[in-house]
């Protein structure tokens, strides 16, 4: 089977019952992604089927979003205020920081089930029980395909999750070159203007906020390493937002992420190459961090730094410091929420993540040399 954009669009229109996508700018990134999947993805038969279903579902969500906005134009009046986007290299403590901040009663974040099913199903009540059930089943199916993944990253269906999963619906997302071997797509994305994708991220947050009255008055805290590729766009789209950047030596972070990518890519391909994956992500992160430096230099007041070792050693101290840097005052309710989350996190951890740089065609010495520009500046 060869994926085709026109067939995916037709399947989505048939399923969605409407052909009104609004601005069809997204067809360009979708076409690049599909071409890369066909040329490079080496998808297994089940991988092709899963991918076709996934891309179709993302297109259907675009149709349903436009339909819901037409039915409820007040959604577009929702005032989305973003306190922070947490980003840095993957595997740098950003998940722990994100989930701690998201636990604060003063803040809100995207939940895993919402990222999978952001729009209400017809006739569904405010408890979103059907979407939550499907999200739980989806998580269980994912872990059945990659049981080792839980040792790498704590997976929950109802916890705070990366907003890049909403950005997936624009087809301009780091998710795709993480789940698939699509290097030409990843290279293309680095130079693509993502401003429309981030405008749509705001629209997705408006929809989530509109559905949940408890979010009124609370600011959002979001997280994904993807945002390193578009930091200026993030800051322009969300004028109140700061970027909280997490730091860890790339000697550990890069092979750790390569291991995570290998686990995910193997769901869709029987020919995933760990050496190619390791080298691709090492080069990708070098380029990203080099280009990112100019953003920091031009807008230094919009950044807060957090170090991996400090985050692990003193998580409560660090989360309080970050919240204060975001012009918020942590109190007793925040402390209680953070203590509760840390206890939950300890209970959710499974096993130990084992990996070596050599498995992915890398070496500690070479990584140290390649990323010296970064470690000398931030570590």
User: Taking a C-beta distance cutoff of 8 angstroms, is the pair 46, 269 a contact?
Assistant: no
In a domain? residue 17: no
In a domain? residue 3: no
- Which tokens belong to 135? 């999200």
In a domain? residue 207: yes
- Note the maximum CA span of the chain: 58
d(CA 101, CA 334): 9
In a domain? residue 163: yes
Per-block mean pLDDT, blocks of 10 residues, the chain (379 long): 95 97 98 98 96 98 98 97 96 94 98 96 91 93 73 75 97 97 97 97 98 94 96 97 97 94 94 98 96 93 97 97 98 98 82 83 98 96
pLDDT number for residue 29: 98
In a domain? residue 361: yes
Q: Is 296 exposed, middle or buried (0-12, 13-18, 19+ CB in 10 A)?
A: middle
User: Taking a C-beta distance cutoff of 8 angstroms, is the pair 221, 96 a contact?
Assistant: no
In a domain? residue 213: yes
User: Taking a C-beta distance cutoff of 8 angstroms, is the pair 230, 164 a contact?
Assistant: no
pLDDT number for residue 350: 57
- Which tokens belong to 202? 């705001």
In a domain? residue 319: yes
pLDDT number for residue 313: 96
In angstroms, the Cα distances linking 281 to 70, 182, 255, 334 are 41, 12, 9, 36
Helix pair angle (27-40, 183-190), 10° resolution: 150
pLDDT number for residue 193: 97
pLDDT number for residue 157: 86
pLDDT number for residue 358: 97
Tell me how crowded residue 145 is: count the other CB atoms within 10 A of its CB. Answer: 14
Render the burial of 14-38: b for 16+ CB within 10 Å, e for the rest: eebeeeebeeeebeebbebbbbbbe
pLDDT number for residue 318: 98
d(CA 153, CA 137): 18
Q: Which domain holds residue 224?
A: 82-378
Structural domains counted in the chain = 1
The model's pTM: 0.95
CATH number at residue 297: 3.40.50.300
pLDDT number for residue 153: 56
Phi, psi at 180, each rounded to 5°: -135, 155
pLDDT number for residue 348: 73
User: Taking a C-beta distance cutoff of 8 angstroms, is the pair 238, 79 a contact?
Assistant: no
Q: What's the residue count for the chain?
A: 379
Cα angle 373, 261, 294 (rounded to 5 degrees) comes to: 30
In a domain? residue 12: no
Residue recorded with tokens 């390193």: 228
d(CA 148, CA 296): 36
- Which tokens belong to 75? 């959604």
pLDDT number for residue 120: 95
């Amino acid at each position: 089977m060869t994926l085709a954009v026109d067939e995916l669009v037709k399947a989505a229109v048939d399923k969605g019952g409407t052909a009104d996508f609004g601005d069809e700018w997204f067809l360009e990134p979708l076409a690049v992604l599909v071409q890369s999947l066909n040329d490079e993805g080496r998808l297994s038969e089940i991988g092709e089927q899963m991918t076709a279903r996934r891309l179709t579902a993302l297109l259907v969500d675009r149709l349903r979003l436009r339909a819901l906005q037409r039915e409820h134009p007040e959604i577009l009046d929702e005032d989305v205020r973003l306190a922070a986007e947490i980003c840095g290299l993957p595997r740098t403590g950003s998940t722990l920081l994100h989930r701690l901040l998201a636990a604060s009663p003063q803040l809100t974040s995207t939940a895993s089930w919402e990222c999978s099913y952001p729009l209400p199903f017809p006739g569904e009540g405010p408890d979103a029980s059907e979407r939550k059930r499907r999200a739980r089943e989806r998580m269980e199916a994912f872990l059945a395909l990659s049981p080792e993944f839980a040792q790498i990253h704590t997976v929950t269906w109802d916890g705070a999750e990366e907003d890049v999963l909403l950005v997936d619906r624009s087809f301009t997302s780091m998710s795709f070159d993480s789940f698939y071997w699509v290097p030409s797509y990843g290279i293309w994305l680095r130079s693509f203007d993502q401003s429309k994708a981030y405008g749509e991220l705001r629209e997705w947050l408006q929809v989530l906020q509109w559905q949940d009255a408890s979010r009124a008055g609370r600011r959002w805290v979001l997280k994904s390493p993807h945002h390193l590729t578009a930091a200026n766009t993030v800051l322009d789209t969300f004028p109140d937002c700061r970027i909280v950047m997490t730091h860890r030596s790339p000697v550990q972070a890069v092979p750790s992420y390569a291991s995570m990518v290998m686990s995910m890519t193997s769901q869709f391909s029987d020919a995933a190459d760990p050496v190619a994956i390791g080298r691709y992500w090492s080069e990708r992160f070098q380029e990203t961090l080099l280009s990112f430096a100019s953003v920091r230099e031009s807008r230094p007041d919009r950044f807060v730094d957090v170090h991996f070792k400090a985050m692990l050693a003193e998580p409560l101290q660090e989360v309080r410091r970050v919240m204060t840097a975001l012009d918020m005052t942590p109190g007793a309710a925040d402390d209680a929420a953070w203590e509760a989350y840390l206890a939950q996190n300890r209970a959710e951890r499974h096993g130990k993540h084992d990996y070596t740089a050599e498995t992915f065609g890398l070496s500690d010495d070479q990584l140290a040399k390649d990323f010296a520009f970064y470690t000398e500046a931030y570590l």
